[in-house]
Amino acid sequence: MSFLPLTPEDQKLIEAAREVLQRNYHPVRHSVGAAVLCASGRIYAGINVEACGYGPCAEPIALGAALTNGEREFLAIVAVCKGEDEYAVLSPCGNCRQLLVDYAPEAMVIFSDDGQVVKTQARNLLPGAYRSCFD
Protein backbone atom coordinates (compact mmCIF):
# COMPACT_ATOMS: atom_id res chain seq x y z
CA MET A 1 0.00 0.00 0.00
CA SER A 2 1.36 3.43 -0.84
CA PHE A 3 1.10 6.39 1.51
CA LEU A 4 1.02 10.12 0.87
CA PRO A 5 2.83 12.78 2.91
CA LEU A 6 0.88 14.75 5.49
CA THR A 7 -0.01 18.37 4.72
CA PRO A 8 -0.60 21.37 7.00
CA GLU A 9 -4.35 20.73 6.52
CA ASP A 10 -3.82 17.18 7.82
CA GLN A 11 -2.10 18.58 10.90
CA LYS A 12 -5.10 20.89 11.50
CA LEU A 13 -7.42 17.90 11.30
CA ILE A 14 -5.29 15.96 13.79
CA GLU A 15 -5.39 18.97 16.11
CA ALA A 16 -9.20 19.15 15.84
CA ALA A 17 -9.43 15.50 16.93
CA ARG A 18 -7.04 16.18 19.81
CA GLU A 19 -9.03 19.22 20.93
CA VAL A 20 -12.36 17.38 21.04
CA LEU A 21 -10.76 14.61 23.08
CA GLN A 22 -9.05 17.07 25.44
CA ARG A 23 -12.42 18.73 26.14
CA ASN A 24 -14.25 15.45 26.70
CA TYR A 25 -11.67 12.93 27.90
CA HIS A 26 -12.82 10.34 30.42
CA PRO A 27 -10.52 7.33 30.92
CA VAL A 28 -13.31 4.78 30.50
CA ARG A 29 -16.15 6.46 28.64
CA HIS A 30 -14.49 8.84 26.16
CA SER A 31 -10.95 7.89 25.22
CA VAL A 32 -10.87 8.51 21.45
CA GLY A 33 -11.54 11.66 19.44
CA ALA A 34 -12.02 11.93 15.68
CA ALA A 35 -12.35 14.70 13.13
CA VAL A 36 -13.58 14.63 9.55
CA LEU A 37 -12.84 17.28 6.91
CA CYS A 38 -15.65 17.83 4.41
CA ALA A 39 -15.50 19.23 0.89
CA SER A 40 -17.23 22.35 2.25
CA GLY A 41 -14.10 23.05 4.30
CA ARG A 42 -15.90 22.41 7.59
CA ILE A 43 -14.49 20.05 10.18
CA TYR A 44 -16.78 17.93 12.35
CA ALA A 45 -15.47 16.20 15.45
CA GLY A 46 -16.74 13.45 17.73
CA ILE A 47 -15.73 11.22 20.60
CA ASN A 48 -16.32 7.54 21.22
CA VAL A 49 -19.29 6.65 23.41
CA GLU A 50 -18.60 3.74 25.72
CA ALA A 51 -21.60 1.74 26.91
CA CYS A 52 -22.24 -1.63 28.51
CA GLY A 53 -21.11 -4.19 25.99
CA TYR A 54 -20.50 -1.85 23.07
CA GLY A 55 -20.29 1.78 22.17
CA PRO A 56 -19.67 3.47 18.84
CA CYS A 57 -16.18 4.55 17.92
CA ALA A 58 -15.33 8.24 17.47
CA GLU A 59 -15.15 8.04 13.67
CA PRO A 60 -18.86 7.21 13.13
CA ILE A 61 -19.82 9.90 15.66
CA ALA A 62 -17.82 12.54 13.72
CA LEU A 63 -19.08 11.25 10.38
CA GLY A 64 -22.66 11.24 11.72
CA ALA A 65 -22.30 14.86 12.86
CA ALA A 66 -21.21 15.82 9.35
CA LEU A 67 -24.04 13.87 7.73
CA THR A 68 -26.57 15.39 10.15
CA ASN A 69 -25.45 18.83 8.99
CA GLY A 70 -25.96 17.98 5.33
CA GLU A 71 -22.40 17.08 4.37
CA ARG A 72 -22.01 14.35 1.76
CA GLU A 73 -18.44 14.76 0.48
CA PHE A 74 -15.60 13.81 2.81
CA LEU A 75 -11.96 14.64 2.17
CA ALA A 76 -10.14 13.25 5.22
CA ILE A 77 -10.63 11.67 8.64
CA VAL A 78 -8.42 10.96 11.65
CA ALA A 79 -8.81 9.48 15.13
CA VAL A 80 -6.58 10.02 18.17
CA CYS A 81 -6.28 8.54 21.64
CA LYS A 82 -4.74 9.89 24.82
CA GLY A 83 -1.42 8.33 25.75
CA GLU A 84 0.53 8.93 28.93
CA ASP A 85 2.01 12.26 27.82
CA GLU A 86 0.50 12.99 24.42
CA TYR A 87 -2.28 12.28 21.96
CA ALA A 88 -1.49 9.59 19.40
CA VAL A 89 -3.02 9.02 15.98
CA LEU A 90 -4.88 5.69 15.78
CA SER A 91 -5.63 3.27 12.97
CA PRO A 92 -9.35 2.72 12.36
CA CYS A 93 -10.83 -0.59 13.54
CA GLY A 94 -12.37 -3.02 11.07
CA ASN A 95 -15.92 -1.72 11.59
CA CYS A 96 -14.78 1.85 10.98
CA ARG A 97 -12.88 0.80 7.86
CA GLN A 98 -16.07 -0.71 6.46
CA LEU A 99 -18.02 2.44 7.40
CA LEU A 100 -15.45 4.60 5.62
CA VAL A 101 -15.58 2.40 2.50
CA ASP A 102 -19.37 2.73 2.54
CA TYR A 103 -19.55 6.52 3.08
CA ALA A 104 -16.20 7.97 2.04
CA PRO A 105 -14.14 5.54 -0.06
CA GLU A 106 -12.10 8.33 -1.66
CA ALA A 107 -11.45 10.20 1.61
CA MET A 108 -7.92 10.22 2.97
CA VAL A 109 -7.53 8.36 6.25
CA ILE A 110 -4.72 9.57 8.50
CA PHE A 111 -3.55 6.68 10.66
CA SER A 112 -0.63 5.07 12.42
CA ASP A 113 1.37 2.41 10.57
CA ASP A 114 4.15 0.86 12.64
CA GLY A 115 4.43 4.05 14.68
CA GLN A 116 4.55 6.36 11.67
CA VAL A 117 1.65 8.73 10.90
CA VAL A 118 0.65 8.25 7.25
CA LYS A 119 -2.41 8.60 5.03
CA THR A 120 -4.12 6.76 2.21
CA GLN A 121 -7.62 6.55 0.74
CA ALA A 122 -10.20 4.71 2.81
CA ARG A 123 -10.78 2.14 0.06
CA ASN A 124 -7.13 1.05 0.37
CA LEU A 125 -7.58 0.06 4.02
CA LEU A 126 -10.07 -2.74 3.35
CA PRO A 127 -9.25 -4.84 0.30
CA GLY A 128 -12.17 -6.97 -0.79
CA ALA A 129 -14.60 -4.90 1.28
CA TYR A 130 -18.20 -6.08 1.60
CA ARG A 131 -20.51 -4.42 -0.90
CA SER A 132 -24.29 -4.69 -0.89
CA CYS A 133 -26.08 -6.43 -3.76
CA PHE A 134 -27.65 -3.04 -4.47
CA ASP A 135 -24.36 -1.15 -4.98
Taking the C-alpha atoms of residue 29 and residue 38, their distance in angstroms, rounded to an integer, is 27
User: Of the residues 9, 59, 84, 106, which is catalytic?
Assistant: 59
For the chain, count helices (H), then strands (E).
3, 6
Does residue 79 contact residue 32 with C-beta atoms inside 8 Å? Answer: yes
Residue 59 a catalytic site member: yes
- Alpha-carbon distance of 110 to 118, in angstroms, equals 6
Residues paired with 43 in a beta bridge: 37
Return the closest-CA partner of residue 30 out of 63, 74, 61. Answer: 61
Q: Which residues are catalytic?
A: 59
